[in-house]
Each structure stands twice: as C-alpha cells, then as structure tokens.
Amino acid sequence: MKRIFTLLVATMVTLTASLQAQIKINSASKRINDHHMVIKPQFAEVHGGFHDGLALVYAPDGKSKPFYIDTEGRHCFSQSFDDARPFSDGRAAVKKDDRWGFISIKGETVIPFEYAEARDFCEGYAAVSKGGARGLYGVVDENGKTFMPERYSQVNSFSDGVATVMQNGRWMLVNQRGANMELPYERVGGFHCGRAVVMQQGKYGAIDASGKLVVATVYDHLSDFSEGLSVFLMNGKYGYLDTMGQVAIECRFTHAAPFSDGRAVASDAEPDASGMVTLVGVIDAKGDYVVKPHYNVVKQFSEGLAAVGLDGKWGYINADGKVVVPLQYEDAQGFSEGLAAVREKGLWGFISAKE
C-alpha cells in the first residue's frame, strides 16, 4: 500500500511539473502572438520597410552589404550590391563597383550600372547622372530610355505628369510631353496634391500645375501638401492651409507635421529650455485632439497605425489613439504592406498588424 501511495505522489509531481512547463510554453507563445512578430529580430538596419513585397536590410556583422528580403524573411537575389535603396514603382536603385543601375522585383538588371547618381522612380521616371565636371541630372524611363538629357542641376520627381527642375540657376516647370515654362522663384519644391511649394524673398507660397501662384508667398514656412493640407508657420505658431490657401486649421500649435491617414502629429505644449517640444499628440482633420500631447515621439500614420515613443519605449496606436501594440520595443518604424520593423536587443525584426 505504501509503495502504491509513493507511486501516486511521484506521478502527480511529474504531471504537475509537465503542466507548469506547458503553461510556460503557452504563455511564451501567447506573448509572441500578442506582439505579432513574424520575422524575428536579426538585422542591424532596416531601410524603408516593405515595398513591392521586398525590404532592404543589413546583417548584424558590420561587414554585410545590403540585401533584400521577402515577407517571410528570406534572402532574395543571388547578386550582391555595394549600396542599395528601397523599391519604388517596381524598380530599385542599386550600386556596384561605384556605379548605380536599377533592378526589377525579380532581381534582374533592367538599367545598366552606368550612373554616378540615381534617384528613385516615381510615375515611371527617375533622375540620373553620369557625373562629369558639372554633375548635371537627366531623366530616364523605367526601361532606361532617356526622357530628358543631363542638363539640370536639380530635378524633383514627377507627380500627376509634371515636375520642377533647375537649369542654369533658374527653375522651370516641365511636363511629360517635354513642354516647359520658367518660374520666377528662388526655391521650388516637388508637386504634391497638385501643388508645389515655392519661396520668394524668404517667404513661402505654392503654385499649381500650370505655374499659377495659388497660395501667396507670405508664410515663414510651408510643408509639402499631404491629403490636401500643408503645415504653415507664421509668427512662431503652426497651422494648416488647404490647396487654395485658405486656413483649414488655425495657427495655434508649437509643433505640427503633415497629415497621413486622416491624422497629424501636433502639439500646443510649450517648448523646453532648449526650444524642443517634448510632448506631442495627434489631431484629426478638424484640428481636434484624438490624442492629447502625451508621447515624446509620434511617427507618421500609415495603414491606420502610428509608432509612438515614450521614455525610450516604442509601440503602436490606432487612429482613435488606442494602444494596439504595447510600448515595449527599443525603436519602431511605420507599417508598410502590413508589416513594420521593430528593434529588440539591438536587432530589427518585423511585426504584423494582424492579430
């Protein structure tokens, strides 16, 4: 009888230990699932997130060249590159032997390695330069065919068929048919939402795609337009203008950023002794706070979520300001194609927005 009792006790102890171990495993699995980690932290750097199903990363050995991974974390393409940039419009600028070319999403070389400089594709065109004493830029199409010869000192990306370029110290407006007109401004940005920011005598305004001034050059600063609004600065405070130059959100913020996904990072908190605004929140298109100034950093919303940082920890909030991924990471980037890069113990991995 005593032997049977001892055997029962031993069996119960074994079962209890097994159950505790299983609970620990389940807890660990739940923790991973709660965090939505889909590619474990293993990269020293991540540049730009996923585009066209591919992300640009660096290995942690400090000697690695950049390479691309797919959404499963698998290393893509057999050829290696000395430098590279994220994909845009199905093309990526990559560098070999000190010259830039372009590859497709299959890793095939589609534009030869013959340029000293190469910019990203936008609407089927990219600025490139073969170098030379003057270092001028031209524009090629997605097959490498020259669209504009190398005669411009600055080239802004095409948007809705128009772009701004500088030639011989003068800004011009060009379209995809090759027509151009001179612009009488000291600085001209690229087009966004049908508007390009211009500067004249230290004051900022905006032109439309025909070159007409639609926002008077009276502001201390204007950001590029995004979702139909531009951040303007006047007398030390920030507000928002619409594309016709009408005030959409009054000038009352000490910090303001462009809109994305119907939300913008803003704050009316007073700067600290160094002039920095250390607490920021989130506003909607009416200028009302969705999240009052609370975080040290809020990055731009993308795919309905924004990375937020507080006291050195990072997580994510949704458009209503609810924390959907706890603040537990060392750093975090925006979501792109359903995935976002996060850093743990010095290495970057990717989480999914899906639970």
> What proportion of the chain, given as a percentage, has pLDDT over 90?
82
Residue 109 has pLDDT above 80, yes or no: yes
- At 283-325, the pLDDT tens digits run 999 999 999 999 999 999 999 999 999 999 999 999 999 999 9
160 contacts 173 by C-beta, under 8 angstroms: no
| CA distances to 43, 109, 152 from 74, in Å | 12, 20, 40
- For 310, residues 6+ apart whose C-beta sits below 8 A from its C-beta are 294, 295, 296, 327
Query: What is the token pair recorded at 178?
Result: 């090759």
273: pLDDT confidence band, cut at 50, 70 and 90? confident
Q: What is the mean pLDDT of residues 58-87?
A: 93
| High-pLDDT (> 70) share of the chain, % | 90
pLDDT at 355: 63
Query: What is the pLDDT, as a whole number, of residue 104?
Result: 97
Phi, psi (degrees; rounded to nearest 5) at 207: -115, 160
pLDDT tens column, 255-267: 999 999 999 999 9
Q: Is the pLDDT of residue 16 over 70?
A: no
Sequence letter at residue 104: S
φ, ψ of residue 184 in degrees (nearest 5): -90, 50
Higher-confidence residue of 188 and 354: namely 188
What does the pLDDT read at residue 176? 84
325-336 confidence digits (pLDDT tens): 999 999 999 999
Question: pLDDT band for position 133 (50/70/90)?
Answer: low
